[in-house]
Structure 1
Amino acid sequence: MLDLRRENYWNLLSPKISTDTIRNVMDMKANMGSFGAALKNKDVWVMNIISEEGPNTLKLVYDRGLIGSIHNWCEAYSTYPRTYDLLHAGTVFSDIEKKGCSGEDLLIEMDRILRPTGFINIRDKQHVIDFVKKYLTALHWEAVTAADTSTEVDQDGDDIVFIVQKKLWLTTESLRTTE
């Protein structure tokens, strides 16, 4: 099922990506590393983040031959020396909302660890997607696409897949042509 979901994500991204557009991927809520495992045929490196509130499945991630760490998204994540081309955020916003943490802080953190022209795949409830949409302009992100997940067999709610891209933005001074 996850292979089908990954293919759907790739199809949604396909108008914007080429073969080497995405190299470094972070699954912000990896659970057992299934998203990373589904990318095994892609030429990407995946960092799997396990929630510190849930079951510790890091050993399962390692047993699959993947890498990962445990983290609480209410705090900053040390990414040195790496930034990411794709962040997969499956219900991460809903999780931090339940803990009373700041969605705005998470957006800023995601912007920090995402490379310019990188993508964020947010899979969450409609109210979360609406929240993220409010900040697109301020963050210099643009909506790529959105898709309803109600047709998926394992769907257990009203999740929406929303894909955004971080723009490469320059100051007005850097855009001037030299004569």
Structure 2
Amino acid sequence: MKACVTPLPDVENPSEVAGGAIKPFPSRLNAIPPRISNGLIPGVSSQAYEKDNKMWKKHVKAYSNVNKYLLTGRYRNIMDMNAGFGGFAAAIESPKSWVMNVVPTIAKIATLGAVYERGLIGIYHDWCEAFSTYPRTYDLIHASGPEGAVIMRDDVDVLTKVNKLARGMRWNTKLVDHEDGPLVREKVLYAVKQYWVGGNQTAAS
């Protein structure tokens, strides 16, 4: 079980707070977690953490410009499939919503401890396996990972709409017939998220 548990850092004397002093919620959402300020996460500095915070605030603001319901509490149950330090969840910062912060087991940096110190919930998970809760439990799923892929299977009318939306977000998509032939209404949509940045005018092929 040791590999699955995130322990508090050791202290040198009884007067110290295990793991370091943590600010009260919600100010701790954006405060530097003690394990980062104390240099206990290799390769992560306080400056890098603050930069990550600013980046996610910018991203969430952009998301809310597209989806006006994001910050209204319309989405009560949210999952971030690649949470990092929990910046996406912290930027949501709504008492009407909660975010399940998933840190992939293959992540280069073990950040779940920092997620906890922000007052957020989270879990390590291997995305090669099924998640422990039913997918429809979540109103919104956030997935960040350029060049990732999605396979969707549904009625042709549904996938036609999804295909249009995906291509509008510069995903490469391919809609193919069911294994039993073109007369079956159920189709399969393959979508690959492309790497692009603002100002790139090249549309996905």
Q: TM-score, normalised by structure 2?
A: 0.47
Ranges in structure 1 where 5+ consecutive residues have no aligned partner = 98-102, 109-121, 142-147, 161-179
User: Residue 150 of structure 1: CA displacement?
Assistant: 2.1
Q: In structure 2, what is the equivalent of residue 60 of structure 1?
A: 114
User: Residue 11 of structure 1: CA displacement?
Assistant: 1.4
Q: In structure 2, what is the equivalent of residue 44 of structure 1?
A: 97
Q: In structure 2, what is the equivalent of residue 151 of structure 1?
A: 198
Q: Which has the higher contact order (CA 8 A, sep 6+)?
A: 1
Q: In structure 1, what is the equivalent of residue 75 of structure 2?
A: 22
Query: Match of 2:131, as an amino acid?
Result: Y
Q: What is the identity percentage for the equivalent residue pairs of Structure 1 and Structure 2?
A: 37
Aligned runs of 1:104-115 on 2, under 5 Å?
A: 104=151, 107=152
Query: Match of 1:67, as an amino acid?
Result: I
- Which of 87, 103, 121 does residue 34 from structure 1 map onto? 87
1:11 aligns with 2:11: no
Query: Match of 1:84, as an amino acid?
Result: Y
Could you give the per-residue CA deviations for residues 108-134 of structure 1, whole angstroms, max 9, x where no partner exists? 7xxxxxxxxxxxxx9xx95xx224x63
Could you give the per-residue CA deviations for residues 130-149 of structure 1, whole angstroms, max 9, x where no partner exists? 24x638x95899xxxxxx96
- Which of 32, 52, 56 does residue 2 from structure 1 map onto? 56
User: Residue 19 of structure 1: CA displacement?
Assistant: 3.5
RMSD over aligned CA atoms reads: 3.9
Instruction: Indicate conservation of the 8 Å contact 1:47/1:67, yes or no.
Output: yes
Ranges in structure 2 where 5+ consecutive residues have no aligned partner = 1-54, 154-165, 177-184, 190-194
- Residues 138, 2 of structure 1: alpha-carbon distance in 2 compared, 3 angstrom cutoff: farther
Instruction: Indicate conservation of the 8 Å contact 2:175/2:188, yes or no.
Output: no
Distance 2:114 2:85 in 1: 6
User: Residue 75 of structure 1: CA displacement?
Assistant: 1.3
Instruction: Indicate conservation of the 8 Å contact 1:28/1:92, yes or no.
Output: no
Instruction: Indicate conservation of the 8 Å contact 1:23/1:85, yes or no.
Output: yes
Q: Which has the larger radius of gyration?
A: 2
Q: In structure 1, what is the equivalent of residue 131 of structure 2?
A: 77
Q: TM-score, normalised by structure 1?
A: 0.53
